[in-house]
Structure 1
């Protein structure tokens, strides 16, 4: 029987990847009920990474944990335990910054904390996974609420960041302004299988393309706060033996920098997720593949998940279709066998955003009719 692989990324601020592929599948089978359909939700390290692995990897187990959220309160979260493998005999832990220290946890723009949110909760979840005894860590670092250079995360793992009076600095980017000493000797050893960090960001730590300047505004930082945060990151860089210009050091408000200092390896998120969930093999065995994301535009060809799915399908000689919340005028969809915009199906962007599952169902049914 011909197989269809559904490999959509999340439709940000609308619907997660796991729910998106499920809705698309339901629409497809309403027209073509006997088709074999494989759900492989994609992610690049940001929001939805945990859900993507949970949906795609048989035997994955959510492990609950209570951590310090970006507002300083205790929140319920989880990390994901993947089954043992030859290169990770005690299992792999997937930990997501978005669900522990992410901007979505703040809920509304009025609750943004550009100077005071930090990454401690992310570090606490990593520490819990290490205490479980896993052989490998996979860390998704998209959707950060803070610009603390990863100091909150590293502090939760045993590092010490102090001011001139040897007192711990306050949490968040604000605390970096008083940073005088950084002691990383208390950090635990990396697990035997190492620490792989998933990110689609290649920005350096500082400067016009750095963490504060590029990503600070979306976290609520104005010009004066951006300058303060960038200066604080400079104080951190002067104390830690990592090149602040390293690609990805500015990811997640400088969390990439902190993870490099621990010894982690930063990799393109979508590529690593694809390998870990077995996407290349699934695409090679498929008759049709469907890629997608919320907004497909000219930048979507720059290493984003739909472009990766398209490249894998092209290499395997398998037709690939696209489903997107909107398809921008500058987007090149000529390589896709078909392309469906939820905005066009719904009649407007507002309508598609108000009920994305409904319109993904409609998109699945439409593709089944067109590609049958």
Structure 2
């Protein structure tokens, strides 16, 4: 058994003895050991989320520095851009024949794609941004390689777009127009801070995904939005695998409305993946029927685990009023502990049978 799993198991078995059996959800005090379990697990998730956000912010800072230091493109440089581009559905892909990936790289080749989402309506600013973005490739590669989670990309207010690894034009047309997409508007422009997009299903087949986007400013002037995608499997698989080793224990990750993000139980996890895939959207929730009805979601589905749904419903109900972290209560013969992640406001919810300690 892995060391982390043994550590968590020992803490939870000891902690669960402090919860008397109960038939309905009742508030309970969190013993120090139980608090340590959920804090340690949630802390690992928060650390990863914070690292991803710092990576996006650092890429934005690199872009801002290049934007200040890069001279306007020369006629020769502008000519090279004009000699090597392709257009599809109003999206322009600029190609570098001297790129180590070749003039037409394969999907996800280790090179950036430079795109423009306003047809051939080029301006001097279009070429200036291209000149800056063409110099950003090494920083994008370094950011991706340090945390190899899906895509790294940057969008300018003028519809210039750079993404790493390479995104072919046929797939890039789906991002038209990027400044109107959720990944752009997720940035906290008012607070000049990074913002997180609600978990969603990646239609390219990567599963559940989340995006962090950071606005890039020069004083009060918005220069760009720097973004990173992370699949939830990459983010949570290690933590969920460790918690799955607790006899009879179950762990789920959900957003503050109960949307299912991840689950330690293989059956529940497979249900989430299958139903989201069939719907082409993230439609599974850890909510009871009354909660789904209150959300008014036509496509919303409850998970196949009634106990998890009941626990999720209780966590959502307590979210606005219970400022304790973790939220702790008993549900039937289970002890339930729900810890709020600082970065996103999601909840890591653990259900532990009290009989496991006997």
Q: TM-score, normalised by structure 1?
A: 0.35
Q: TM-score, normalised by structure 2?
A: 0.37
Question: Larger Rg: 1 or 2?
Answer: 2
